Amino acid sequence: MANSKIASLIPREVLFGNPDKASVELSPDGNRISYLAPVNGVLNIWVGPAADPPTARPVTDDKDRGIRFYVWAYTNDHILYIQDKDGDENWRLYSVDLSTNQTKDLTPIEGVQAQIQQVSHKSPQEIIVGLNDRNPQFHDLYLIDIATGERRLIQRNDGFSRFVTDDDYNIRFAMRMTTDGGSEVLRPTEDDSWELFITILMEDLLTTSPVGFDKTGKLLYMIDSRDRNTAALVTLDLETGKHTLLAEDSQADISGVMVHPTEKTVQAVSFTRERKRWQILDDSIAEDLAALREIATGDIEIISRTLDDRHWIVAYEMDNGPIRYYRYQRAEKETQFLFTNRKALEGLPLAKMHSVTIRSRDGLDLVSYYTLPVVSGDDPQPGAPLPMILLVHGGPWGRDTWGYDPMHQMLANRGYAVLSVNFRGSTGLGKAFINAGNCEWAAKMHDDLVDAVNWAIDKGIADPERVAIMGGSYGGYATLVGMTFTPDLFTCGVDIVGPSNLVTLLESIPPYWQPQIDMFATRVGDHRTEEGRVFLTERSPLTHVERIKRPLLIGQGANDPRVKQAESDQIVTAMQEKNIPVTYVLYSDEGHGFARPENRLSFYAVAEAFLAAHLGGECESIGDSFIDSTIAVPSGVEQIPGLSAVLSHD
């Protein structure tokens, strides 16, 4: 390929390497700022004066996977973060004492998953943590001293999927699944038993849930879709039983809630159909949001607030640029630009993301997003049909949204159109849309993807002879479905941690997912019955492996607790037995997805070469993308141009 073309490509390192900064937070008292940033290529927590962010210094020393989630404790001198081992999702909880620079493991138990349940300004020294140390299926609640690590059991869990606690660390509700795929909300009684409080039917399960309390603790805030289609925000008076509607949208579920840090009043809510829209409920922040809209373009998110609510961290998300972070002082209505999350993106020719609603064959609206190479400018129509990648989101109970997406940007930069579809079963667009996907894996859910591809072909966006399907988790399953159920539609496929057999998938879920098994039974299929196993087997790509006739690339983490390595192993083996070519990429230190940037870069180098070979797009050479990666290719090295040479050199 000509050097001039190579020079025009945005390097993978810029798109998929570590961000410069992420997860920006203010300490509760507002004196300090924190964020994730690399130390020797590994994400760690940095802390510095809020008034002088450039002087921040790292306060953790992770040398392996990088830290991805942390919160401030209300002592203002401690930061709490979680970390697993090689992607096994057995999270351990750590406390960093900023006054001594010491880090303490608060949950030093092998093979146990810690979940932060509640952090409250009313009890700065202690937090509530869920641990499945007694029974792998259920998380008991412990009160843990963040300085000493001393823990005390406060609630044994003998069958609940989750608890709801308040700022006084009272256990207010417990939730458990019902056999029909719904849920019961129970509250404790004076004799230490539980009584039924609310029943949530199956069709409302994913769109109805308690979310918190007002300052008095007498009003319960709920996301609630009962007696309506979309999830609204309501209050429930726990003394009188009165329901009050606070906010709703006829076309989208509640997607975000702004609550005052101490008064616990709901100040604004967001709804996301094509783009995020904020609805103000408290006039005291109206001027603030108006002022912030004048600062920069993009979708606004208030990502951190001090306890006195005088200072905010505000993020602006773009589709064709990095996230911009500002520190906002409310009293003065003054903003201080801090930094972007990826400086190397600034000024690059990044592509716009277009939103479109595609009609399915049976009349559903599929909110979708597509990206075209920059040569198309802002025009939503290319000059001629392009090779296209259908990029399928995971979950499936999640959704695609507008904004910067590194996969969209890399693929568009290489000359592809990229299409992401909120197929039925996706969240955020009402319960009817979610429930339309029940037991429709490899059926109507896949029909939606096919309909979207046909839309792109009809609009002159996609070349019908060069369409690939790609995705992770459910998106990986959808890729395998595309290769087996509609083998003539897709030129090639890229499956990342996707299940191949729905029976073995459900038989091997993590033990702490077992309390939710009835949700999977009603929404995917019931592997516990003979009829259900027959149904799930028919919907499994492994069953139809002989139909695969186009190139396939599979990526897998060896420690994935959700979609076990066996899911990829078995379809690779089946393809080999039938002499069907497949390339299999495996990482010994990864789980459900590729967390280490070295592994991400190596996999996307392989994927980019694979797509270029079969769709004809441009491609950055693999080069040194395997440095410090644990990449192994057990099968199909010869299927990727240049891969054998790089592996033998390493």
Which amino acid does the sequence have at 157?
N
User: What pLDDT is attached to residue 305?
Assistant: 98
| Pairwise CA distance, residues 563 & 541, whole Å | 14
377, pLDDT greater than 90: no
Domain containing 591 — which CATH number? 3.40.50.1820
Quickly state the pLDDT bin for 5 (edges 50, 70, 90). Answer: very low
Residue 208 is assigned to a structural domain of this protein: no
Instruction: Please work out, in degrees rounded to the nearest 5, the angle formed at the alpha carbon of residue 86 by the alpha carbons of 427 and 398.
Output: 5
Domain ranges, residue 392: 353-501+540-624
139 is catalytic: no
User: What pLDDT is attached to residue 2?
Assistant: 35
Report CA 102 to chain centroid distance, whole Å: 31
Residue 473 is assigned to a structural domain of this protein: yes
Q: For 530-582, what is each residue's pLDDT tens digit?
A: 999 999 999 999 999 999 999 999 999 999 999 999 999 999 999 999 999 99
User: What pLDDT is attached to residue 375?
Assistant: 83
Quickly state the pLDDT bin for 642 (edges 50, 70, 90). Answer: confident
Residue 12 is assigned to a structural domain of this protein: no
Residue 335 is assigned to a structural domain of this protein: no
Residue 149 is assigned to a structural domain of this protein: no
What does the block give as tokens for 549?
């006739």
Instruction: Count the domains in the chain.
Output: 1
492-496 and 462-472 as β-strands: parallel, antiparallel, unpaired?
parallel
Q: For 470-508, what is each residue's pLDDT tens digit?
A: 999 999 999 999 999 999 999 999 999 999 999 999 999
Residue 161 is assigned to a structural domain of this protein: no
Average of pLDDT values for 75-89?
97
Q: Which residues contact 342 (CB under 8 A, 6 or more apart)?
A: 14, 19, 20, 322, 323
4, pLDDT greater than 50: no
191, pLDDT greater than 70: yes
Q: What is the mean pLDDT of the chain?
A: 96
Q: Note the helical H segments in 439-492.
A: 444-458, 474-485
Percentage of the chain beyond pLDDT 90 is 95
| Pairwise CA distance, residues 478 & 482, whole Å | 6
Q: Which residue has the tokens 């300004």?
A: 121
What does the block give as tokens for 276?
């995020």
| Pairwise CA distance, residues 113 & 131, whole Å | 6
Catalytic residue among 311, 408, 592, 614: 592
Quickly state the pLDDT bin for 521 (edges 50, 70, 90). Answer: very high
ω before 396 within 30° of 0 (cis)?
yes
268, pLDDT greater than 70: yes
3, pLDDT greater than 70: no
Q: For 383-418, what is each residue's pLDDT tens digit?
A: 899 999 999 999 999 999 999 999 999 999 999 999
Contacts 24+ apart (CB under 8 A), 141-145: 141/117, 141/165, 141/171, 143/169, 144/93, 144/106, 144/107
Residue 548 is assigned to a structural domain of this protein: yes
Burial 428-454 (b: 16+ CB within 10 A, else e): bbbbebbbbbbbbbbebbbbbbbbbbb
Q: For 131-160, what is each residue's pLDDT tens digit?
A: 999 999 999 999 999 999 999 999 999 999
Average of pLDDT values for 333-352?
95
Q: Note the helical H segments in 315-443.
A: 406-413, 431-435
Burial 495-505 (b: 16+ CB within 10 A, else e): bbbbbbbbbbb
473 is catalytic: yes
pTM assigned to the model: 0.96
Residue 84 is assigned to a structural domain of this protein: no
Which of 172, 208, 169 lies closest to 187 in space, CA to CA?
172
Which of 76, 70, 92, 170 lies closest to 124 in space, CA to CA?
76
96, pLDDT greater than 50: yes
Catalytic residue among 34, 420, 473, 625: 473
Q: Under DSSP, is residue 49 helix (H, G, I), strand (E, B) or coil? A: strand
Q: What's phi and psi for 597, nearest 5 deg?
A: -60, -30
Q: For 217-266, what is each residue's pLDDT tens digit?
A: 999 999 999 999 999 999 999 999 999 999 999 999 999 999 999 999 99
Catalytic residue among 133, 224, 526, 560: 560
520, pLDDT greater than 80: yes
Question: What is the DSSP track for 388-411?
Answer: EEEEE-SSSS----SS--HHHHHH
